[in-house]
Amino acid sequence: QSALTQPPSVSGSPGQSVTISCTGTSSDVGSHNRVSWYQQPPGTAPKVMIYDVSNRPSGVPDRFSGSKSDNTASLTISGLQAEDEADYYCSSHTSSDTLMFGGGTKLTVL
């Protein structure tokens, strides 16, 4: 199975909003609402920021939001802060009962 497609990098200034896309197929992203997003600062373990397309775990700021349209899921970070600088990965359950990650997106806060 191939990785989900994410842009290699995005950037934004403090206070701005950025959106990271995650494109799959009708067999994964498009088949259900089991898409999640992870934040991974350098040298640390990933942390789930969004699950089931648009749900935030307790403790995750509401500046982080998720959505999905057809085979593409999106993570939007509004009111960008310096601490948001990290690598972001999407993942999706598939119709074969497997899991796929995206290639990752490096977010730079200018």
Partner 1 sequence: QLQLQESGPGLVKPSETLSLTCTVSGGSISNTNYYWGWIRQPPGKGLEWIGTIYYNGKTYYNPSLKSRVTISVDTSKSQFSLKLSSVTATDTAVYSCARQVGWGHWYFDLWGRGTLVTVSS
Residue 46 lies near partner 1 (rule: CB under 8 A): yes
**Sole window of 14-22, 60-68, 75-83, 97-105 interacting with partner 1 (rule: CB under 8 A):** 97-105
Q: Which residues pair with 59 in a beta bridge?
A: none
HEC assignment per residue over the chain? CCCEECCCEEEECCCCCEEEEEECCCCCHHHCCCEEEEEECCCCCCEEEEECCCECCCCCCCCEEEEEECCEEEEEECCCCHHHCEEEEEEEECCCCCEEEECCEEEEEC
24 belongs to the binding site for partner 1 (CB under 8 A) = no
Task: Give the nearest distance from C-beta 76 to partner 1 in angstroms.
Answer: 18
Out of 36, 39, 65, 71, the residue judged to bind partner 1 by CB under 8 A: 36
Residue 100 interacting with partner 1 (CB under 8 A): yes
Distance between CA 82 and CA 68 in Å, rounded? 26
Is 63 a binding residue for partner 1 by CB under 8 A? The answer is no
Q: Does 72 bind partner 1 (CB under 8 A)?
A: no
Interface contacts to partner 1, rule CB under 8 A: 1, 3, 34, 36, 38, 45-48, 51-52, 57, 89, 91, 93, 96-104
